Amino acid sequence: EAAVTQSPRNKVTVTGGNVTLSCRQTNSHNYMYWYRQDTGHGLRLIHYSYGAGNLQIGDVPDGYKATRTTQEDFFLLLELASPSQTSLYFCASSDERDWGDEQYFGPGTRLTVL
Amino acid sequence: GDSVTQTEGLVTLTEGLPVMLNCTYQTIYSNAFLFWYVHYLNESPWLLLRSSTDNKRTEHQGFHATLHKSSSSFHLQKSSAQLSDSALYYCALKTGGLSGKLTFGEGTQVTVIS
């Protein structure tokens, strides 16, 4: 069973604050992803990575940085948080050995920027 | 770029009646892999079913869908809705090989009432 964990589960910060969201997967998956989920927009890809040290830009990258330090760990950084970044953030991982491989999602981090 | 359209944002159904959630997609690529993910409140999204085979019905947990490349559609259906089907349903598209990148629709929030 795939296991993806995220921390913190909830975070409140102020405008201009620095936030780091953490994600760890223990299934030796090569690919990891960061999404944000907003009503009316669905899941939108922020950044993704296919291995340690690799970073790919997603569909909504503005205001976000990411870093993949190991195969297991993927971090999302908001260096100057804004209220528009208030959202539910999901991390996911996948193997991608086959075209139809599924993505396994973490439990989510709810971020509020005041 | 790729896009996925889910026309219903909110669907309210009576228990026992059939369910149909629409999903259409656009891509310049001839190869397309379509997915349905389900997201229950306070849980992680997970894969419900997937297909890349034209005109072949795929089924899982009482739900089914058929990929029709001629109409670029992958509608999700169930013959009889249950209260436990209340959730957010996402249609997603993958093209272009093993990049892992999914394009999600905006999601359909389903509420089943008795």
B44 and A42 within 8 Å at the Cβ level: the answer is: no
Tally of domains in chain A? 1
- Which of B9, B100, B104 is nearest residue A94 as measured by Cβ atoms? B100
Interface test with A, best of B30, B89, B102, B103 (most A CBs within 10 A): B102
A43 and B35 within 8 Å at the Cβ level: the answer is: no
Estimate to the nearest angstrom the gap between the alpha carbon of A6 and the chain centroid. Answer: 9
pLDDT tens for chain B, 114 residues long, are 899 999 999 999 999 999 999 999 999 888 899 999 999 999 999 999 999 999 999 999 999 999 999 999 999 999 999 999 999 999 999 987 656 789 999 999 999 999
Side-chain half-sphere exposure of A98, counting CA atoms within 13 A: 6
Task: Check residue A2 and give its pLDDT.
Answer: 55
**Could you tell me if residue A72 is inside a domain?**
yes
Task: Check residue A98 and give its pLDDT.
Answer: 80
**Could you tell me if residue A13 is inside a domain?**
yes
**Could you tell me if residue A105 is inside a domain?**
no
**Could you tell me if residue A106 is inside a domain?**
no
d(CA A74, CA A49): 8
List the one residue out of B67, B63, B55 whose CA is nearest residue B108. Answer: B63
Q: Collapsing DSSP states into helix, strand and coil, what is residue A23?
A: strand
- The widest CA-to-CA distance across chain B, in whole angstroms, is 43
Q: Which positions in chain A touch B105 (Cβ < 8 Å)?
A: 42
What the block records as the tokens of B71 is 């109409």
d(CA A83, CA A45): 19
Q: Collapsing DSSP states into helix, strand and coil, what is residue B91?
A: strand
Yes or no: say if B81 and B15 are a contact pair by the CB < 8 Å rule.
yes
The CATH number of the domain holding residue A66 is 2.60.40.10
Average confidence score pLDDT of chain A? 94
pLDDT in tens, A42-74: 999 999 999 999 999 999 999 999 999 999 999
A106 and B44 within 8 Å at the Cβ level: the answer is: yes
The CATH number of the domain holding residue B97 is 2.60.40.10
Task: Check residue B97 and give its pLDDT.
Answer: 61
Q: Which positions in chain A touch B92 (Cβ < 8 Å)?
A: 43
B97 and A99 within 8 Å at the Cβ level: the answer is: yes
Tally of domains in chain B? 1
Q: Residue A43 is inside which H or E element, if any?
A: strand A42-49
Q: Which residues of A touch B (CB under 8 A)?
A: 4, 31, 33, 40-45, 48, 50, 56, 58-59, 90, 94, 96-97, 99-108
Q: Collapsing DSSP states into helix, strand and coil, what is residue B83?
A: helix
Task: Check residue A78 and give its pLDDT.
Answer: 97
**Could you tell me if residue A109 is inside a domain?**
no
Instruction: List Cα–Cα distances, A1 to A4, A9, A27, A36, A105, in angstroms.
Output: 10, 21, 8, 24, 12
Q: Which domain holds residue A17?
A: 4-96
Q: Which domain holds residue B77?
A: 3-113
**Could you tell me if residue A113 is inside a domain?**
no
